[in-house]
Amino acid sequence: MAEPPYLRIAAELKRRITAGELPPGSRIPSVRGIAAEWGVAIATATKVVAALRDEGVVHAVPRVGTVVATPAPSRRSVPRRDATALLTREQVVHAAIDIADEQGFDGLSMRSVATELGVPTMSLYKHVRGRDELALLMADVVFAQHRLPAVPPPTWRAQLELVARMQWAAYRAHPWLPKLLSLTRPQPMPNLLHHAEWVMRALEDHGQGPAVVFHAHITLFGYVRGTALSIEPEVEAEADTGLSADQWVDAHDDMFGPAIDSGVFPAFSRVVGTPFDFDLDEVFEFGLQRLLDGYAALFR
């Protein structure tokens, strides 16, 4: 049987990588570029990238694209002793944040942090107990970088808008962050607790009991985090395919055409038949305002 086209294309890209035509860290052609160069469908080009990722030949870098993976360092490379002696917890956490920003949280390991810092992997355990504790420290450092002002805005609504947008900005800057946070099991992060304190202080003087204040706080936190969970998958999808969300829908119009033409979903057909640009920031802002409208009605 003839070799599937996607495997032949993957083999050619691996040849280019081996020959140095695509060095480590360089972008490989996007899904759209592969489809154009080899004259294949988007679905076939997508399988090419998936095959290379499964082999560890390439990986997705948020806001960059799919790049050639860097070979693992030689076992003979000996970390510098002075680097181990001078290592601090802050260095470990910031190195981990840099790796997660570049490769996503799934690309983070204790070994990758040690390699980044030029120290033995076991030396990290003098500063953190493991990857789970490191994740909490990373999240808390990010929220420390998005510090709330000493003097809040004058109204409860402006205060909630400020804290929600600040959290959204943190998630936008670090797409891996939302999935590290739990809605149901509070985590000991002092800098995130400042956000909770801010929200509860804004809500507690409106004639509502503690349960309502707490539920309102959790609902706001859950809304921002829940919407932000879509950021990382979209960043990775755009890097892998070279297509924005709107462009992807246009390229897969045949998937929705039969449902639209069937007449079974008339409201859906009318809405999606009206051209508009999908923007996740606009979705977040729309939902935030409607949520706060509901709080305003509750306070009245």
Q: What is the pLDDT of residues 177-209, one digit of tens each?
A: 999 998 888 888 899 999 999 999 999 888 889
Task: State the pLDDT at residue 263.
Answer: 80
Q: What is the mean pLDDT of residues 286-299?
A: 95
Please say whether the beta carbons of 69 and 57 come within 8 A.
yes
Look over the chain and give the mean of its residue pLDDT values, rounded to a whole number: 86
Q: Looking at the predicted structure, is the pLDDT value of residue 57 above 90?
A: no
- pLDDT tens-digit series, residues 219-239: 999 999 999 999 988 887 777
Please say whether the beta carbons of 227 and 287 come within 8 A.
yes
Q: Looking at the predicted structure, is the pLDDT value of residue 21 above 80?
A: yes
pLDDT band per the 50, 70, 90 thresholds, residue 77: very low
Task: Give the whole-number percent of the chain exceeding pLDDT 70.
Answer: 90
| Residues sharing a CB contact under 8 Å with residue 112, sequence separation 6 or more, in sequence order | 99, 103
Q: Looking at the predicted structure, is the pLDDT value of residue 139 above 70?
A: yes
Q: Which amino acid is at 259?
A: A
SS3 call for 152: coil
* Exposed e or buried b per residue across 106-143, where buried means at least 16 C-beta atoms within 10 angstroms of its C-beta: ebbebebbbbbbebbeebbeebbeeeeebbbbbbbbbb
Q: Looking at the predicted structure, is the pLDDT value of residue 73 above 60?
A: no
Q: Between vectors from CA 17 to CA 242 and to CA 57, what angle results, nearest 5°?
A: 70
> pTM of the prediction?
0.72
DSSP assignment of 231-280 = HHHHHHHHHHHS--HHHHHHHTHHHHHHHHHTSS-HHHHHHHTS-----H
Q: What are phi and psi of 63, to 5 degrees?
A: 65, 5
* Exposed e or buried b per residue across 179-209, where buried means at least 16 C-beta atoms within 10 angstroms of its C-beta: bbbeeeeeeebebbeebbebbeebbbeeebe
Please say whether the beta carbons of 7 and 34 come within 8 A.
no
Task: State the pLDDT at residue 136.
Answer: 95
| Between 101 and 260, residue with greater pLDDT | 101
Q: What is the mean pLDDT of residues 107-111?
A: 88
Task: Give the whole-number percent of the chain exceeding pLDDT 90.
Answer: 43
